[in-house]
Structure 1
């Protein structure tokens, strides 16, 4: 009888310890599953990504799971740009944009509208407009219709995109030429504020780390503020490389824009390790260098990054996110321009057909080592 009781107690102890270990293992696994960019940087700034049409339509369940797990802000790559959403004078395509907004709201995400006014990716019919009054009417109709449709649903609008040259002077777009000055920015921000009164309104551009271009942005923001026109933020596109821009230049711009009393957002972050033509300056989509296509010197990592290149990208991202954390009181959002490397526009820009690795997730949608580095930075800061 005594041996029988001992055996039962021994069996119970073994079962108890096994169950305890199993529970501990499940807890660890669950903690690992819960690690994500958005949770790691919760309370610092939003972590966003740009979605293509397939991702908006949820055609790949694995990508949908990745997007909803890692990010709490979304931007459409192309589907709210004029040529897509308003291709003809009296024709609007709302199917994908409606799905985009619904996706964001379903998943409790900050929804960005990109973009209301941009000289590039315009519908062809807009470029045929020859006088200011007609253009004013069409801009008014465009913004009222689109921003009005998503009133209370889109949280932030890139109202005007890329209105400046590299030296900070006004870009001679169709808008500037027909208006004769930069007053089209005033019109756009006024219309957006009325059509979407609860949305934050942003001026978005690339190379805003450059001192001369920085001064141009400061001029634009101060002009709007002086006239009582709502502007809530400056969106710094961040199409950077392992070589530059310098952390100091980026930091100087963060401080300068924040001093204007507006939020700072990094709206299109990616880091390339690929070489680009020496004369390349900026991130204008119309830039192309066909003569370099197929040149192995310009596409050195077809079979994958070398360890040295991986370390350079990792170090670059660490430096960037250390800066973001330093100024988290000024920065409201950091958005990666794409979910994974395969999706990145940098595979085809400025040289078509290259293999690039500028994001935190690989072509298989799995986190790369640099992802772990970015997460670890936040853990070190705690």
Structure 2
């Protein structure tokens, strides 16, 4: 029996109830439900988040603490403490960790950005992957081995790794990770790879890794889209084309912005910024019902699509726990008030949450 959305809202308490399951329970057997988590949440300093996270999610991705600038701040020094705390937190709560990430062109340590010598970059590359991946093998479920290596046209991004190590650096990253972490799933992660040109580049990349005899277990489509304008046809085509390669498909950084896009294109490149102007921050006093409804219907459309292909999808991860911690409050314009996630700034479930749950009762 299909439950009308208003009735479903009445039935559910703050983080789910006996009548309506939590997200991870609703989709158990379909795919993991994950979220990005920050250090305040890992250390359980936020009591509301501490109650919500183990109730709602069975997978976590560290938002920043396993990125190179934090984990490997100096040539001969690693900072493992925040990641160790994350792993311990996940183990206590029986949650799987997707480690994020080993190789990315952004958020690099200062010493690496200043390197000019290719041999030094290669030494960093080998030591970084080997040291970190081996340390957490068997403790984390998976790694985003390489993150955002493609341009919008599907060609390789002109990163320090491409310039200093050449076009085979991605294959080599997976080869090193496979050796260092034989018990860990290995993924490629990127945004906009549901779009045809960039998708073709990702497919070529996966095939190249496979042809080299190197293991790649899955591909993560980030899912930074716009409420009311989710590219469902392109997403479905991507699920089919990527899964045909014999790899898992995941949606790894899902959020649906409700704010105006200052550009005529979609990007999640953190290096791009836009100037604020009139009309760019319309919901500082709250999200109106019409926008709440549009967000809810957009999430429902997405999850109905995910459920149609649940045998091909292994994980859905929201990029954040609640609206207040979303990176979209500061991207691509700083200081805006966005509402892209199923939980609001007080960790209360929104209409979007109930719409997602309701897709299990068509």
Is the aligned partner of 1:166 residue 2:166?
no
Residue 198 of structure 2 corresponds to which residue in structure 1?
Answer: 213
Residue 264 of structure 1 corresponds to which residue in structure 2?
Answer: 249
TM alignment of 1:47-66, pairs within 5 A: 47-66=33-52
Q: Alignment partner for residue 62 of structure 2, among 61, 70, 76?
A: 76
Displacement of 1:244: 2.9
Q: Any idea what the Cα deviations from partners look like across 1:85-118, whole Å, max 9, x if unmatched?
A: 1111111111110000111111111111100000
Residue 276 of structure 1 corresponds to which residue in structure 2?
Answer: 261
**2:230/2:298 contact within 8 Å kept:** no
**2:37/2:63 contact within 8 Å kept:** yes
Q: Which runs of 4+ in 1 moved over 6 A?
A: none
Residue 298 of structure 1 corresponds to which residue in structure 2?
Answer: 280
Q: Distance in 1 between matches of 2:289 and 2:323?
A: 17
Displacement of 1:352: 0.4
Is the aligned partner of 1:372 residue 2:354?
yes
Q: Distance in 1 between matches of 2:57 and 2:138?
A: 21
Q: Any idea what the Cα deviations from partners look like across 1:194-217, whole Å, max 9, x if unmatched?
A: 111011100000001110000000
**1:209/1:245 contact within 8 Å kept:** no
Q: Distance in 2 between matches of 1:120 and 1:188?
A: 16
Q: Alignment partner for residue 97 of structure 1, among 83, 88, 107?
A: 83
Q: Alignment partner for residue 173 of structure 2, among 180, 188, 193?
A: 188
Q: Distance in 1 between matches of 2:92 and 2:177?
A: 24
Q: Distance in 2 between matches of 1:269 and 1:190?
A: 28
Displacement of 1:30: 5.9
Q: Any idea what the Cα deviations from partners look like across 1:50-92, whole Å, max 9, x if unmatched?
A: 0011011110122111000000000000000000111111111
TM alignment of 1:1-382, pairs within 5 A: 31-32=18-19, 35-181=21-167, 183-289=168-274, 291-292=275-276, 295-380=277-362
Q: Any idea what the Cα deviations from partners look like across 1:289-343, whole Å, max 9, x if unmatched?
A: 1x31xx3400011111111111111110011000000000000000000000000
Q: Distance in 1 between matches of 2:199 and 2:186?
A: 18
Displacement of 1:280: 4.5
Residue segments in structure 1 that go unaligned for 5+ positions in a row = 1-28
Q: Which one has the bigger helix percentage?
A: 1
Residue 4 of structure 2 corresponds to which residue in structure 1?
Answer: none
Q: Distance in 1 between matches of 2:73 and 2:60?
A: 23
- Secondary structure of the 1:298 match is coil
Output the aligned Cα RMSD.
1.2
Q: Distance in 2 between matches of 1:309 and 1:243?
A: 9
Q: Distance in 1 between matches of 2:173 and 2:162?
A: 12
Q: Distance in 2 between matches of 1:188 and 1:242?
A: 35
- Secondary structure of the 1:126 match is helix
Q: Distance in 1 between matches of 2:293 and 2:354?
A: 13
Q: Distance in 1 between matches of 2:292 and 2:279?
A: 18
Q: Distance in 1 between matches of 2:31 and 2:222?
A: 16
- Secondary structure of the 2:361 match is helix
Q: Distance in 2 between matches of 1:199 and 1:355?
A: 37
**2:226/2:258 contact within 8 Å kept:** yes
Q: Distance in 2 between matches of 1:61 and 1:258?
A: 39
Q: Distance in 1 between matches of 2:58 and 2:261?
A: 32
Q: Distance in 1 between matches of 2:98 and 2:38?
A: 13
Q: Any idea what the Cα deviations from partners look like across 1:154-206, whole Å, max 9, x if unmatched?
A: 1100000000000000100000011232x111111011111110111000000
Displacement of 1:286: 1.1
Q: Any idea what the Cα deviations from partners look like across 1:2-24, whole Å, max 9, x if unmatched?
A: xxxxxxxxxxxxxxxxxxxxxxx
**2:252/2:318 contact within 8 Å kept:** yes
**2:23/2:57 contact within 8 Å kept:** yes
**2:228/2:294 contact within 8 Å kept:** no
More off after superposition, 93-102 vs 125-134: 125-134
Q: Distance in 2 between matches of 1:144 and 1:177?
A: 21
Q: Distance in 2 between matches of 1:131 and 1:86?
A: 19
Q: Distance in 2 between matches of 1:30 and 1:48?
A: 19
Instruction: Give the alignment's TM-score, normalised by structure 1.
Output: 0.89
